[in-house]
Amino acid sequence: MKVLIVDDELLIRNVIKEYLKIENIFYDEAENGYQAIDLVKTNNYDCIIMDIMMPKLDGYSAIKEIKKFSNAKVIVLSARTEEYDKLSGFDLGIDDYVTKPFSPKELIARIKAVCKRNEKAIKITSIGGIKINELSRTVLIDNEEVEFTQTQFDLIALFLKNPKVAFTREMIIDNIWGYSYEADNRTIDAHIKLVRNKLGKYKNCIKTVRGVGYKFEYNE
């Protein structure tokens, strides 16, 4: 787990850091919204602790920008206690709101809670050396990311989530495109061929089932 602490008060950052160290949680820190945005652009954080009243760029403006490119959980840590401020934060998509003064132990508990929800939300499926992440829509082949188009990703996701299930071409069309999609067998076969090629040494895991269609089967 990695946390970004954003607060213009050094004392508060230091207190939070000490408690994160106790829990063996990695962290970075920023003292204003601009620094936070730059750090989130170049690092992956599970959770961002964001103060609201900061110089140069306030917390809410930073959150609005960060939400454009990051799925990190956000906990607001603020001296503002008015209901309006809390509602404004939740409208922006924050996950929790903690008011100052605060209990560091409670803050750590809230960090763990929102990150646990995030872990449940991330749908990761892996078989053998193939791993897909449905949240980021990425495919790793032996820990190397391979670029898949949207349709190709949907196909490999369908197979990995349903191993050893034989899909007819009609079932594939229904799951990937829906009933309204018009395609002949050659179109489906072409998509399957492209997916196989991108799987490298695992291409034979997508097996042709004579008279039926295709299935995914991995044998160690």
Domain count, the chain: 2
pLDDT of 118 strictly over 80: no
Confidence of residue 62 (pLDDT cuts 50, 70, 90): very high
Q: Any idea what the Cα angle at residue 153 is, between residues 69 and 146, rounded to 5°?
A: 75
* CATH number of the domain residue 23 falls in: 3.40.50.2300
Q: Which residues neighbour 83 within 8 Å (Cβ) at sequence distance 6 or greater?
A: none
Q: Tell me: the pLDDT tens digits for 8-53? A: 999 999 999 999 999 888 999 999 999 999 999 888 888 999 999 9
Based on the fold, state whether residues 40 and 128 are members of the same structural domain: no
Cβ-count burial 50-74 (b if 16+ within 10 Å, e if not) = bbbebeeebbbbbbebbeeebebbb
> 78, 98, 121: which is the final residue of a domain?
121
Query: What is residue 103's three-state secondary structure?
Result: coil
Task: Using alpha carbons, list the distances in angstroms from residue 95 to 17, 29, 68, 214.
Answer: 20, 19, 16, 42
Q: Which residues pair with 97 in a beta bridge?
A: 76
Confidence of residue 182 (pLDDT cuts 50, 70, 90): low
Question: Both tokens of residue 177?
Answer: 């495109």
Based on the fold, state whether residues 108 and 177 are members of the same structural domain: no
Based on the fold, state whether residues 137 and 58 are members of the same structural domain: no
Cβ contact 50:79 at 8 Å: no
Q: Which domain holds residue 168?
A: 124-216
